[in-house]
Chains A and B, each alone.
Chain A
Amino acid sequence: MNQTDAFHRRIDEALHNAQLRQNFRSALTGIMARRAEQFPDETQLQALRDQARAVRANALVRQPELLERLEAKLTENGIQVHWAEGPDEANAIIHGILERAGAKTVVKGKSMVSEETGLNHYLEHHGIEVIESDLGEYIIQLAEEPPSHIVAPAIHKNRREVAELFQRFHPEIPYTEDIDQLTQSARVVLRDRFANADAGISGVNFAVAETGTLCLVENEGNGRLSTTAPRVHVAITGIEKVVERLSDVPPLLEILTKSATGQPITTYFNMISRPRQPGELDGPEAVHLVLLDNGRSRIRVDDELLDTLRCIRCGACINHCPVYVQLGGHAYGTVYPGPIGIALEPQRIGIHKVGTLTSACTLCGACGEVCPVRIPLPKLINRLRAEAVDGLRAGTAVRGHGSMRKPAEAGVWLLWRWLYTAPSRYRLFTRLATRLRWMTPPWLGAWTRYRCAPRPAQRTLHELAREEGFRNE
């Protein structure tokens, strides 16, 4: 099945799942309202967005130097830095670290980058037990599903579905649909895991070059536990997460938590700069950072598309997307769903593989308006649409450029251009179209499945205008 048919089939499934749509609708309505409450002052919000955008944009400008500085500083601090071109290399590096440390069990904090590499699967295949410790991640790990949202991975499940999962995997705990009790059950179940895991794996929200500091944003405490209780900590992140100074962090943190979940700040902001030092009584003996490229450096080559890399993964664009709310995250079939997914994934994976995602957008502009770092998502999506069908071969960084071009579609536009660029041809065409309107076919494929076929008017607008006395129309 080609990518478009496969996508349409997933869309069809999602649209016919009333429960799923209800779960998304109610969850997203709440998040949007909470975000809005955090920004009562429009001027302040816009100023903060400018600040966050500049911090991220300039970090990307100086990215090669900053990464080297980060590496030097982390190394000086005793944190070991590894570079990976793609998923396989990253997974192999992490597996190597765990193997050398004799680690058999791993607790994991939330990390979308590890979803990119399929890390859990890889490690399990190599005999290492991996437990997701974020509640949402734990739920979908039990369900054997990928995350449907980058901030709230189990957003597609309601309390009954979660209760049934817990019942199935932990029959010793009495069945309940009460959210507080379900949360307590998860605490009890995962506590032993934290206490006994050999290694912890986490993502990174910001990596500060100036001080060699890895910053993690979270509410549950699982991120802190994963990075504190085991004897080894491995962090994995994309190479775009580096920022220059520690003073760059407060504006990013503020706009991240407010945009993501409508919180002025999360419960924990965890800054890690070293492994356990002599005399210290806890914390991992070894800390590693894996810097993953996986297509990012190629995106950066294009001065327009590089804006994609400013993303701080807040999920606001996803929450406000009128298409996402109908489909949910799984329909996209990629690691990152919603507007940021549509912009990022075709660049990362290639238009020939997932370019069809760009059709799941109404260009309404909601995503671009809420993005805390002012990524012009609609513009990027439009650019990728053009890339997908462009006939010219040269001068672009996007893989699969032109791969969705269809001769018939291209022919129609060629004809359109031919008609519209010569007034005489244009007049003849509109005259024929109006006079021969009875010839319009009643069935126009998918368009007329739920709608009437459009039919030209009896007279052209130009004719009507002339009759009304307009000249030089």
Chain B
Amino acid sequence: MSDSRERILARLRANRPIEVPTPTVYAKPLGWDREHCIASFMQRMQAVRGEVHRIARDAWVDWLAGELPARGIHHLLAGNGDVGDRLASALPASIRLSRYDHPIEQWKPALFNDIDAAITHARAGLAESGSIVLWPDANEPRLMSLAPPIHIALLDSHKLHENFAAMIAAEHWANGMPTNALLISGPSKTADIEQTLAYGIHGPKQLITLLLD
């Protein structure tokens, strides 16, 4: 490749510093049980203004059917999988359901301007930091959790891990990463003006996690 590459690598190879002894592998074993994980997840998520509702496994469709109109959400975006299928028949007529089923180039302005909320799965959650974990894919593309002002995530409460380190070990992430993986902890925020926290800057203004038992 380029000469720069060779020159840089040659300079780096010229010195071999001494290795530092690595302390015991980082993975604070917290020893939390499921309820402790759930409590911590909810508390941490709420501390950064993330909404969490713990509901029964099959209750989320009804919950949304009741809650979305009450919150003035008229236009919901779902992916191509089962979530959208189930909502299609259950949502009241006042709510328009769109599916993310064609490439972004064909409908970017609409995605950025017309959608009130998007709903996706979360593949896991982190108890210690209060994070949801997403691996966006062809069914639930990346911008769903980013462009609309509200993001609703469905999280199986059995998929909570203690923390990031525990999760990548348990799920063997190092064996294969997806195009994009995300930890999301609350709605978007900034403290760039006077170090004062303000929510809802570029990403979603609200993050609603439905924690399914």
Interface residues of chain A, those whose CB is within 8 Å of chain B, are: 23, 26-27, 30-31, 47-48, 50-51, 53-55, 57-58, 60-61, 63-64, 67-68, 82-85, 89, 133-136, 139, 152-155, 157-159, 162, 179-180, 182-184, 186-187, 190-192, 194-196, 210-213, 219-222, 224-225, 228-229, 231, 239, 245-247, 249-251, 253-254, 261, 264-277, 279-283, 291, 293, 297-298, 300-301, 303, 306
List the A residue with the shortest CB-CB distance to B8: A293
Do the beta carbons of A194 and B141 come within 8 Å of each other?
A: no
**Distance between Cα atoms of A187 and B147 in the complex (Å):** 11
Of the A-B pairs whose beta carbons lie under 8 Å apart in the complex, a sample of 6, sorted by A's number, is: A183-B199, A195-B108, A219-B191, A228-B180, A265-B185, A303-B17
A407 to B158, CA, bound (A): 73
Interface residues of B in 149-182 (CB under 8 A from A): 163-165, 168-169, 173-174, 176-182
Q: Tell whether, in the assembled complex, residue A135 and residue B4 are in contact, meaning their CB atoms are under 8 Å apart.
A: no
A31 touches B195 (CB 8 A): yes
Does B18 touch A at the CB level, under 8 Å?
yes
| C-alpha spacing A264/B163, complex, angstroms | 11
User: Given A183-B193, A247-B169, is A267 in contact with B180 using a C-beta cutoff of 8 Å?
Assistant: no
Chain B residues with CB below 8 A from A300, complex form: 11-12, 15, 17
Cross-interface CB contact of A239 among B8, B20, B113, B180, cutoff 8 Å: B8
**In the complex, chain B residues whose CB is within 8 Å of the CB of A162:** 193
Instruction: A84 to B4: give the CA distance in the assembly, Å.
Output: 6
Contact of A133 with B202 in the complex, beta carbons under 8 Å? yes
Known: A26-B194, A57-B20, A250-B26. A270 touches B180 (CB 8 A): yes
Shortest Cβ distance from B141 into chain A, in angstroms?
A: 4
Beyond known contacts A220-B202, A228-B180, A274-B179: 11 more, CB 8 A cutoff: A67-B12, A136-B190, A155-B195, A182-B193, A195-B112, A196-B108, A229-B108, A239-B8, A245-B174, A267-B203, A293-B8
Q: 6 closest Cβ contacts across the A-B interface?
A: A221-B203, A136-B192, A250-B165, A83-B5, A183-B198, A221-B188
Which chain B residues lie closer than 8 Å to A183 at the CB level?
A: 190, 193, 198-201
Q: Which single member of B48, B109, B143 contacts A267 (CB below 8 Å)?
A: B48
B contact residues around A152 at 8 Å (CB): 191-192, 195
Shortest Cβ gap from A455 to chain B (Å)? 46
Q: Note all chain A residues with C-beta closer than 8 A to B186.
A: 267
The one of A27, A47, A267 in contact with B189, judged by C-beta atoms closer than 8 angstroms, is: A267
Q: Specify which chain B residues have a CB less than 8 angstroms from the CB of A48 in the assembled complex.
A: 26
Look across to chain A and name the residue whose beta carbon is closest to the beta carbon of B192: A136
A190–B177 CB distance below 8 A: no
Bound-complex Cα distance A134 to B141 (A): 23
Is there a chain A Cβ closer than 8 Å to B125's Cβ?
Answer: no
| Given contact pairs A61-B16, A300-B12, A280 touches B194 in the complex (Cβ within 8 A) | no
Say yes or no: B202 contacts A154, CB within 8 Å: no
Does B89 sit within 8 A of A, measured CB to CB? no
A282-B142 contact given A179-B196, A194-B202, CB 8 Å threshold: yes
Bound CA–CA A135/B199 (angstroms): 12
User: Which residues, 111 to 126 on B, are CB-close (under 8 Å) to A?
Assistant: 112-113
Query: Chain B residues with Cβ under 8 A from A297's Cβ?
Result: 8, 11-12
What residues on B are CB-neighbors of A51 within 8 Å? 22-23, 26
Instruction: Please name the residue on chain A nearest to B48 by beta carbon.
Output: A267
* Chain B neighbourhood of A245, CB < 8 A: 174
Are B8 and A280 in contact, with the CB atoms below 8 A? no
Q: Cβ of B102 < 8 Å from any Cβ of A?
A: yes
Cβ of B70 within 8 Å of any chain A Cβ, yes or no, is no
Smallest CB gap from A181: residue in B: B198
Q: How far is the CA of A253 from the CA of B176 in the complex (A)?
A: 20
> Do A277 and B193 form a contact, CB below 8 Å, given A183-B201, A225-B202, A253-B164?
no
Report chain B residues within 8 Å CB of A219: 188-191, 201
With known contacts A251-B165, A282-B103, A85–B7 Cβ distance under 8 A: yes
Interchain CA distance A86-B62 in the complex, whole Å? 58
- Min CB distance A261 to B, Å, is 7
CB < 8 Å: which of A47, A155, A196 contacts B23?
A: A47
Chain A residues near B138: list those with CB within 8 A.
279-281
Query: Within 8 Å CB of A306, what residues of B?
Result: 15, 17
Using known A-B contacts A195-B109, A281-B100, determine if residue A190 contacts B142 with beta carbons closer than 8 Å. Answer: no
Given contacts A26-B194, A179-B196, contact A220 B188 (CB under 8 A): yes
Any A CB within 8 A of the CB of B84: no
A61 near B18: Cβ-Cβ < 8 Å: yes
Interchain CB contact (< 8 A) of A190 among B12, B131, B183, B202 = B202
CB < 8 Å: which of A64, A139, A194 contacts B9?
Answer: A64
- A168 vs B8: C-alpha distance when bound (angstroms): 45
B137 contacts the other chain (CB 8 A): yes
Q: A183-B190, A195-B108, A300-B12 are in contact. Are A268 and B200 (CB under 8 A)?
A: no
- Taking a contact as CB atoms under 8 Å apart, the answer to whether A268 and B182 are in contact is yes
Q: B192, A273: Cβ atoms under 8 Å?
A: no
Report the minimum CB–CB distance from A217 to chain B (whole Å): 10
A264 cross-chain contacts in B, Cβ below 8 A: 44, 128-130
B26 near A270: Cβ-Cβ < 8 Å: no
The answer to whether residues A53 and B44 also contact, given A221-B188, A247-B25 and a CB cut-off of 8 A, is: no
Measured CA separation A306–B104 after assembly (Å): 45
> Do B182 and A270 touch across chains, with their CB atoms under 8 A apart?
yes
CB-defined contacts of A224 to chain B, threshold 8 Å: 142, 146, 182, 203
Expressed in whole angstroms, the minimum distance between the Cβ of A64 and any Cβ of chain B is: 4
Q: Which residues of A contact B174 (CB under 8 A)?
A: 210-211, 245-247
Residue of B nearest to A227 (CB): B180
**Complex: A185 Cα to B24 Cα, angstroms:** 48
Q: Are A250 and B182 in contact (CB under 8 A)?
A: no
B128 to chain A, nearest CB (A): 8
CB pair A211 B44 closer than 8 Å: no
> Closest CB of chain B to A347's CB: distance in Å?
14
Residue of B nearest to A182 (CB): B193
* Inter-chain contacts of A222 with B (CB < 8 A): 201-202
